[in-house]
Amino acid sequence: MKTLNAIALMLFIAAAVAVIFFLDTPTTRAVQAKVMSVFSPFIHASATVEDSTSKVLASDIDPKELLSDNERLRLEVQKLSIINQRNEELITENAQLRDALSYKQRSPFKNLIPARVIKRSSATWWNTLIIDRGSLDGVGTDSPVVTNAGLVGKTGRLSPHMTEIILLTDEACKVSAAISNTREKGILSGERAGLEIMPDLRLRFLSRNAVIPVDGDVLSSGDGGVFPPGLKLGSVKRFENREVSGEAVIRPAVDFNHLEHVFVVSLPPEEVTSKPAP
Amino acid sequence: MLFNLVVMILMVLAFAVEEMLPAIQILQNVRLFHAAVFFFAASVSVPLPTMLLMAFFTGFVWDARYLMLPGRDSSVEQLTSANLGDAGSFSTMMSDGSMDLGFGYSILIFGVLGLLMQGIRPLFKKGRWELPVLMVGVVTTMWLMLQYLLITFLHGGFVFSSAVWYKTISTVMFAMLSAPLLFLMLHILARTTNYEIKYEGLRYRFDGR
């Protein structure tokens, strides 16, 4: 081996070892925030393109039908169609925002930061989303993210104007959960590589032979210091007895494929384990 | 020298391009990991020191952009174990052994896979692209599997669902489809910059033959 290659190899190994063993978590988070800030213009650009494309594909104008009409009617139909499309868009958006607003009004949390989902970011084995709010908007790491349907996940990597959300369907997002009308508590998380369009969740460490009602609500219990109690997580699909403990398969409350607006819960530490949400 | 510099710049741009590529929802959010595939393709064309520099950069930025760091709720299992039923002590035992991937592990993985790609340089310089394209598929599979097995090893519980295979195969197919285009681009770049591959003392003019 040439001397230059040997030196390069030694330097590479030394640098890699230094990164692995000497970068602590706060430094790593700072590095991740910087890198995300650098790439944020590209993420925004990509989200804009995707948004425009989906809007074009969603158009309900049939050009063949329009061509069969005379010139005046065609122009009229086109004009009305465009107006109608815009109205439908506004009605949908209005409904979503009303829904979101009513959730914000009846929510027990004082500090809800509304955010728009801008991109579905799928890394190799992790399930994440990116929202358009970041550290400058008051979002912190490990904050719960909710919709009116229930818990979406928690915040991960932050940049000044963007945040990555670790979805509840990811194995990395663990929530202490309880099944309503029972005394059963467990830990809810997604399955490893739960990449399906609508993956199930797993509620582990339940008692063996526990009587679990099918379709029973699963709510966060508030233990663990991250997620407040009373957040809807899903409903029981079935119960399975494992070697040591029981395990329930949970249908998520949130439709993760059609998320457009979410709220980041910004809670001071002392409020996290307060009384359950209604 | 100019070739190496341009390849390094393209490597940086590859990450920007990757952010622009959407995940395909109907295919379980599969997407082209453009930065990784570009690194594998470029590893064949650059000398060892440049490849190692690229491996360091790719691994570092990859982990900075995509690696999930353990959050506050890593202790949730210990905290809740007191309230759990029969499985309380079991859950504590399980969570004690739980670890997460550390920042920087991708640097070593990219380094090792880049070394594998360097092994087929003689074929590549002869303009034979079949094996390099196949090798891009092989190292992409190894990269995904190494990551998955490391996660499995650290988190415990051997889960190997059909989704894992589906994601791996789809990602590898995307990688192998884009590899010839990347090789073509590197060939054109090499010709433009009069780049020569030096391998085991041989001098070869990189003219694509």
| Look-up of token digits 């969740």 | A201
Angle, helices A3-22 vs B105-118, to 10°: value is: 160
Structure-block tokens of residue B131? 């094996």
Residue A109 and residue A262 in contact, taking contact as beta carbons nearer than 8 Å: no
* Residue B159: closest CA among A131, A19, A16, A171: A171
* Residues A35, B61: C-beta atoms closer than 8 Å: yes
Whether residue B107 and residue A166 make contact (CB cut-off 8 A), yes or no, is: no
Cβ of B66 under 8 Å from any chain A Cβ?
Answer: yes
For A171-221, what is each residue's pLDDT tens digit?
A: 878 888 888 888 888 888 887 766 666 678 888 888 887 788 888 889 888
Give the pLDDT confidence score for residue B98 in this predicted structure.
Answer: 47
Name the average pLDDT for chain B: 79
In chain B, % of residues over pLDDT 90? 32
pLDDT of residue A276: 43
User: By mean pLDDT, which of A182-191, A267-276, B15-24, B140-149 is the weakest?
Assistant: A267-276
Q: What token pair was written down for A123? A: 């890394």
Res A99: pLDDT = 73
Q: What is the pLDDT of residue A61?
A: 60
Give me the phi and psi of B200, to 5 degrees please: 45, 50
B29: left (phi over 0), alpha (psi -120 to 50) or beta: left
Length of chain B: 209
Residue A51, SS3 per DSSP: helix
Is B54's pLDDT higher than 90?
Answer: yes
- Whether residue B201 has pLDDT greater than 50: no
Contact B35, B15 (CB under 8 A): yes
Q: Judge whether B1 is closer than 8 Å to chain A, CB to CB.
A: no
Confidence (pLDDT) at A272:
44
By CB atoms closer than 10 A (0-12, 13-18, 19+), residue A136 is exposed
pLDDT band at B115 (very low <50, low <70, confident <90, very high): very high
Does the beta carbon of B71 lie under 8 angstroms from any beta carbon of chain A?
yes
User: Does the distance separating the beta carbons of A36 and B69 come in below 8 Å?
Assistant: no
Predicted confidence at residue B151, as pLDDT, reads 83
User: Cα–Cα distance between A127 and A131 in angstroms, integer?
Assistant: 14
| Any A CB within 8 A of B108 CB | yes
pLDDT band at B204, cuts 50/70/90?
A: very low
Q: Residue A7: CB partners within 8 Å, gap ≥ 6?
A: none
Query: Helix, strand, coil % (nearest 5) of chain A?
Result: 35, 30, 35
Structure confidence at residue B96 as a pLDDT band (50, 70, 90): very low
Tell me how far apart the alpha carbons of residues B147 and B167 are, in angstroms, rounded to a whole number.
13
Residue that wins the pLDDT comparison between B127 and A277: B127
Instruction: Return d(Cα A61, Cα A82) in angstroms, integer.
Output: 9
Please report the pLDDT score of residue B83 as a whole number.
52
**Each residue's pLDDT expressed in tens, for chain A with a length of 278 residues:** 688 888 999 999 999 999 988 888 888 888 888 888 888 888 888 888 777 776 666 656 666 665 666 666 665 665 576 667 667 767 777 777 777 777 666 666 667 888 888 887 667 777 788 898 888 888 888 888 988 888 889 888 888 888 989 888 888 788 888 888 888 888 888 877 666 666 788 888 888 877 888 888 898 888 777 788 888 889 998 888 877 788 889 998 888 877 888 888 876 655 444 444 43
- In terms of C-beta density within 10 A (0-12 exposed, 13-18 middle, 19 or more buried), how is residue A175 classed? buried
Q: What is the mean pLDDT of residues B72-80?
A: 50
Contact A187, B91 (CB under 8 A): yes
Q: C-alpha distances in angstroms, A14 versus A8, A11, B7? A: 10, 5, 24
Chain B residues whose CB is inside 8 A of the A201 CB are none
Q: Which 3 state secondary structure label does DSSP give A261?
A: strand
Selecting from B76, B103, B164 the residue whose C-beta is nearest the C-beta of A23 gives B103
**Pick from A256, A212, A199, A254: which is nearest to A231 by CA?**
A254
Q: Does A198 touch chain B (CB under 8 A)?
A: no
Please report, rounded to a whole number, the percentage of residues in chain B having pLDDT higher than 70: 76
User: In this predicted structure, what is the pLDDT of residue B141?
Assistant: 93
| B71/A172 touch (CB, cutoff 8 Å), yes or no | yes
Q: Is A232 left (phi over 0), alpha (psi -120 to 50) or beta?
A: beta
Better pLDDT: B58 or B21:
B58
